[in-house]
Structure 1
């Protein structure tokens, strides 16, 4: 057989394979056809040798089961819903593992918060006790296991589990006026705080935050439902430049039953972003100024006196994290971007820096903790490149660093309580998640727990376009990029391009990890004849603080410039049709896609914006002012980069989508954008999803949404 015949035969085989494969559909994606198998949420036990899993059983019961790390075999059941005669929606254990807090009902409030029905189950006596007749918030055991604190109707309570008596610790809480012990909307969303109280190590005190939100403006959105009349949902939401809740730090003494407000000696607005007790009982508080570029680390002594132990400052902002571990002698571990990359530092008990433990042109991306026995610190980082994640350990002296993973891609770890083992979750752009048990000393794989080989086999019957990773030189930077091409790609043809991005500060979309729902949709589009591209521009994360913070006070300027320049560079390629380049994004990505089709009107022919911010004046204080300061201080930064102020530039096809019950990015953003477009006499398409929040989901909603977006792309790109 000659060479031409071989080539022709190979061509026929490829074509036959493509014909045999079917393209992905939106219905496939959102009915769970490509759902990955994972591990149900597990919790390590104190012995470090066993873990607990809340299992949902075939008979519709739930059970909290115990397993061996080493063998994976079930070693027992702590309790089952049939035994309790109530469902188990969630649970937590007391520190001594003798009592279980059972959540049997959960009514969501916002993204992270909920009202819950809570019971306490004693493993020794088999006694089940209802915590309260009411649905409560943020219940937590005291360290000695004798009491449980919770919040009800904005007041802090605790119940003595021995006597059964309940004590109301505060009495000034009032809905939409003053909150004790849980956070307000903006703290929950931006500082990821729900439970705003902490038990002292000796269980004799409760430190808590209060939020006086009486002067915070209210936001109202209509809920339409199915009744004859809609009703307003009203909550406190501080928009950029408006009044925040006044936060107070308090300590409640259980013996005297008195509370004391801690005087932080500040004459300016501030945020208390974190509170923690150290082992000797001193309360630590991380306090930010409103601009969030100065973080003061306070210690509060037993008498309620507060002093600043150290201060961290940044020209842009200081990120708040949970990367704090107190050691036996009162010293502590802390992460900081002070040398441009996020690294781990050791401070003495008084807040003086002793040493930088990790260093290099890479970021610590997750801090896992410290093992006091081996005196080693465990962390995740980008040492294998910014699109990858690896697992490492290092000594407290910053020596003998060990790499614990073998595969290049996305590795994340969940350690046993004694740091004997960790469960590694690995994936890449070609490998769906694989879960393995590893030895924490050297990373040796001990056993495979779960893989997704069945999904890989299933995907053989579908057309799945792979991501091609590269960089693109734009505006003086080599930006991370992936590209998806049709499986029958022909370099002699010209293809339309759809760009996808998020672009928000510190974010990342170009990562060597397995496909999410958007990726499957992008693959579907690729095999319908599009090239799909994602570029992480300036302002995104994991390439150092300078790269991330260059967008300060100018959100939507440099990020948009990078997307436009990248699109132009792509358009110069022989196989890309420069007249057919579209862009889409959700939330911050919708803000970006809106700006791109306006400021880049000669580059982008099509754009889709889902749940976009259209003017940062409409978004909340903590997020917006962290990057933009206030509108009063930075009016031009807000207005020059607001797509509302550039609607007259629209030339291409634009689709605007929002959920009417979005408590995060309010539908007000889209309504104001619509009005501006109408007054500029610009034609566009839009869709409002009634009573849907920022995620726009529920029932067939996602299927409808992505079919609508697919049709729009096919008609206009």
Structure 2
């Protein structure tokens, strides 16, 4: 019996040693999923927070005490509502009511339609807001009303009597939108709800979009019927007409709707509106078409007179962010990179600079809030290196800065309303995500909330290779990099190298954080004999204005030069086979990998481009013109770095993949690349995923199928020698 037991243990140990990641582990079995806090929300009244908890037959919204982390009560459950589940929730200001969303469906990337209810916590009364699927239901500050959008018009429902008032009546699909952003604003300015209640709950400001002259884009939707459907929507490509936007104000007390004329201060874009703490003063952010001149304007809600309070200019472009916070005296905190790095500034209510709150050759990456009692600002920054994120506090006058987060890596924070506590979310390349309760004054960890130690153990069981973060020196500069090598790495062997990158303006692919799904995919390849490297070259973010904006008017030029130089430097390493270097990327990364296999054909043997831009002439006006101006102004910038114009240089193996239902980067990009390659009589591989969007993730097994296809292509192209198999892992 003892011999059998020993033999069993030896066999078991051998099997454990051979345990490898499969694509099913990553894309269907959720083997490496993390525990997290679902829909975390700090409550306004007291040191409490809420979470969504899923149980066998439903879902509940539960209230917890910050100090003890104990559950205080279940606020509402799907069982209470008589619903199988719900998707989201939002409280009114005094947290006596909550809007519950069900049966939601996506419109575009951020927008959705759904059936919504108002639940009154004390009485447990539930009321459907509308029988129709609506968008963006939002409580008035006093909780007595809900405003929402339906069929491109705005409505207000009075919760006391149930009366619904239609504010606008000219909404029409592909023509007029009231209070909800058009496609390009949603995608590039990252917001959907374009209406805002004032503090007195008696006025609603909103943006109206006139899409009449915006060119229309159409996509065939193949579905499962005899004939395909066609989806048409307004999509302004670079240099084409955008929506005409205008600002409007609805007064509930007088039932009057007025247009706000900004006069000579009116600019091309209206990317933000926000009421100040003075209930009759509206702040409006405007941008010129080049997006290098930004105005912050205050509008008087009674007289409708306007005044420019603050102006930002840049020789390249000014980014839009959400770090505008009005304090009790209506002074405000503003974030700007005017000194070369993103920092926080304090202005008085008339737009006069009081002081710069943060300073240094590092960037503020998140603003968490301001504690009026202690005059303290809480923020996240790159002060411990551009690949790291740390949490700090500082007095609003710039004194008494304190580091609150304890460990070096990626820290994020969720503060209680009193700023007595915060929940710290932490991970790094060696530590899976954990959540701890911390004291907001000292940063001291009070309690552990959630850890993922079992996942860390699983990584060890699967012998997941490490992400080794370093800096790569090239003739063009020094760049952040991480590299993944096999556990049994042998420096005397020659390994094929696969590079991954995104490279878009202000992006970051190299960070001191735990594994995402892409890292696990790369780890699977490493387990099968590859080395994987990721390099953030010029144009990427969090290293200052000049590093990011060097690509202005020449997207692709510096980024591909840096990827080529990175590959050349890595190819000099004794253990890298310089004849077997491949690259892949998605979206902007697909654009880069398409340039790599053409402009860099002497360096890269293989490239995979998923949903790539192949000409910036095909992409949307807001994003593209921010970095390139218009094609009419900058034709050379558009054409000199388009893969379409370098198809004749293709030498290696090229796989082009796209979803036919991609409303963001249209399949037109890949079709034009295909034609350019055919014209040059080049051999390549091409695959279309019918009706899939930019993420190519709709439908059962779609992601599994995609990555199986990519894996086979990588191994057949880079793994042909030294006994590498071409079969899937």
Shorter-chain-normalised TM-score: which range?
over 0.9
- Sort the Cα spacing of 1:397 and 1:251 in 2 relative to 1 into closer, same or farther, 3 A: same
Any idea what the Cα deviations from partners look like across 1:345-383, whole Å, max 9, x if unmatched?
001101111111100010001111111111100000001
**1:70 counterpart = 2:71:** no
For residue 303 of structure 1, what is the aligned residue in structure 2? 303
- 1:126 deviation in Å? 2.5
Alignment of 1:41-52 (within 5 A): 41-52=39-50
For residue 562 of structure 1, what is the aligned residue in structure 2? 562
- 1:296 deviation in Å? 0.4
For residue 599 of structure 2, what is the aligned residue in structure 1? 599
For residue 25 of structure 1, what is the aligned residue in structure 2? 22
Aligned 8 A contact 1:118 1:132 in 2 = yes
- 1:21 deviation in Å? 3.4
Aligned-partner Cα distance in 2 for 1:267–1:671: 42
Name which of structure 1's ranges 537-546 and 63-72 shifts more when overlaid on structure 2.
63-72
- Sort the Cα spacing of 1:29 and 1:331 in 2 relative to 1 into closer, same or farther, 3 A: same
For residue 625 of structure 1, what is the aligned residue in structure 2? 625
Aligned-partner Cα distance in 2 for 1:692–1:207: 36
For residue 578 of structure 2, what is the aligned residue in structure 1? 578
For residue 721 of structure 2, what is the aligned residue in structure 1? none
* SS of residue paired to 1:138: strand
Aligned-partner Cα distance in 1 for 2:299–2:407: 45
The correspondence for 1:80, drawn from 41, 57, 77, is 77
Name which of structure 1's ranges 98-107 and 645-654 shifts more when overlaid on structure 2.
98-107
* SS of residue paired to 2:432: coil
Aligned-partner Cα distance in 1 for 2:275–2:671: 46
* SS of residue paired to 2:162: coil
Aligned 8 A contact 1:606 1:653 in 2 = yes
Aligned 8 A contact 1:21 1:461 in 2 = no
Aligned-partner Cα distance in 2 for 1:18–1:544: 48
Aligned 8 A contact 2:297 2:308 in 1 = yes
* SS of residue paired to 2:290: coil
Aligned 8 A contact 2:45 2:94 in 1 = no
For residue 702 of structure 1, what is the aligned residue in structure 2? 703
* SS of residue paired to 1:460: helix
Aligned 8 A contact 2:86 2:101 in 1 = yes
For residue 525 of structure 2, what is the aligned residue in structure 1? 525
Aligned 8 A contact 1:18 1:463 in 2 = no
- 1:422 deviation in Å? 0.8
Any idea what the Cα deviations from partners look like across 1:467-500, whole Å, max 9, x if unmatched?
1111111244210011111111111111111111
* SS of residue paired to 1:598: coil
Aligned 8 A contact 2:205 2:250 in 1 = yes
Aligned-partner Cα distance in 1 for 2:78–2:127: 14
- 1:17 deviation in Å? 7.3
For residue 473 of structure 1, what is the aligned residue in structure 2? 473
Aligned 8 A contact 1:585 1:610 in 2 = yes
Aligned 8 A contact 1:240 1:631 in 2 = yes
- 1:47 deviation in Å? 2.6
Aligned 8 A contact 1:48 1:419 in 2 = no
**1:290 counterpart = 2:284:** no
Aligned-partner Cα distance in 2 for 1:127–1:623: 45
**1:657 counterpart = 2:664:** no
- 1:590 deviation in Å? 0.3
For residue 271 of structure 2, what is the aligned residue in structure 1? 273
For residue 711 of structure 1, what is the aligned residue in structure 2? 712
Superposed CA RMSD in Å reads 1.3
For residue 373 of structure 1, what is the aligned residue in structure 2? 373
* SS of residue paired to 1:23: coil
- 1:316 deviation in Å? 0.7
* SS of residue paired to 2:146: strand
Alignment of 1:160-179 (within 5 A): 160-179=158-177
Aligned-partner Cα distance in 1 for 2:548–2:15: 42
Aligned-partner Cα distance in 2 for 1:80–1:328: 36
Alignment of 1:416-495 (within 5 A): 416-495=416-495
Alignment of 1:526-545 (within 5 A): 526-545=526-545
**1:646 counterpart = 2:646:** yes
Any idea what the Cα deviations from partners look like across 1:562-588, whole Å, max 9, x if unmatched?
000111111111111111111100000
* SS of residue paired to 2:686: strand
For residue 332 of structure 2, what is the aligned residue in structure 1? 332
- Sort the Cα spacing of 1:249 and 1:475 in 2 relative to 1 into closer, same or farther, 3 A: farther
Aligned 8 A contact 1:48 1:420 in 2 = no
For residue 36 of structure 1, what is the aligned residue in structure 2? 34
Alignment of 1:359-438 (within 5 A): 359-438=359-438
Aligned-partner Cα distance in 2 for 1:653–1:203: 61
Aligned-partner Cα distance in 1 for 2:46–2:123: 25
Aligned 8 A contact 2:266 2:286 in 1 = no
Aligned-partner Cα distance in 1 for 2:580–2:74: 59
TM, length-normalised to structure 1: 0.96
The correspondence for 1:157, drawn from 134, 139, 155, is 155
For residue 184 of structure 2, what is the aligned residue in structure 1? 186
Alignment of 1:347-362 (within 5 A): 347-362=347-362
* SS of residue paired to 1:503: coil
Name which of structure 1's ranges 422-431 and 461-470 shifts more when overlaid on structure 2.
461-470
For residue 725 of structure 2, what is the aligned residue in structure 1? none
Any idea what the Cα deviations from partners look like across 1:421-457, whole Å, max 9, x if unmatched?
1111100011110110101111010100001111122
For residue 233 of structure 1, what is the aligned residue in structure 2? 231
- Sort the Cα spacing of 1:621 and 1:713 in 2 relative to 1 into closer, same or farther, 3 A: same
- Sort the Cα spacing of 1:253 and 1:267 in 2 relative to 1 into closer, same or farther, 3 A: closer
For residue 683 of structure 2, what is the aligned residue in structure 1? 683
- Sort the Cα spacing of 1:475 and 1:354 in 2 relative to 1 into closer, same or farther, 3 A: farther
- 1:630 deviation in Å? 0.5
Any idea what the Cα deviations from partners look like across 1:654-688, whole Å, max 9, x if unmatched?
00001110111111111111111111100000111
TM, length-normalised to structure 2: 0.95
Aligned-partner Cα distance in 1 for 2:181–2:410: 33
For residue 9 of structure 1, what is the aligned residue in structure 2? none
For residue 5 of structure 1, what is the aligned residue in structure 2? none
* SS of residue paired to 2:187: helix
Aligned 8 A contact 2:267 2:286 in 1 = no
Name which of structure 1's ranges 120-129 and 37-46 shifts more when overlaid on structure 2.
120-129
* SS of residue paired to 2:41: strand
Aligned-partner Cα distance in 1 for 2:195–2:38: 28
Aligned 8 A contact 1:587 1:665 in 2 = yes
Any idea what the Cα deviations from partners look like across 1:101-146, whole Å, max 9, x if unmatched?
1112212101111111111122233222111121111110000111
- 1:269 deviation in Å? 5.4
**1:319 counterpart = 2:319:** yes
* SS of residue paired to 2:590: helix
Aligned-partner Cα distance in 2 for 1:267–1:634: 26
Alignment of 1:112-151 (within 5 A): 112-151=110-149
5+ residue gaps, structure 2, are 1-9, 719-729
Any idea what the Cα deviations from partners look like across 1:207-263, whole Å, max 9, x if unmatched?
000000011111100111111111101111111100000000111111111111111
- 1:597 deviation in Å? 1.0
* SS of residue paired to 1:355: strand
Aligned 8 A contact 1:581 1:603 in 2 = yes
- Sort the Cα spacing of 1:357 and 1:267 in 2 relative to 1 into closer, same or farther, 3 A: closer
Any idea what the Cα deviations from partners look like across 1:377-401, whole Å, max 9, x if unmatched?
0000001001011000000110000
5+ residue gaps, structure 1, are 1-12
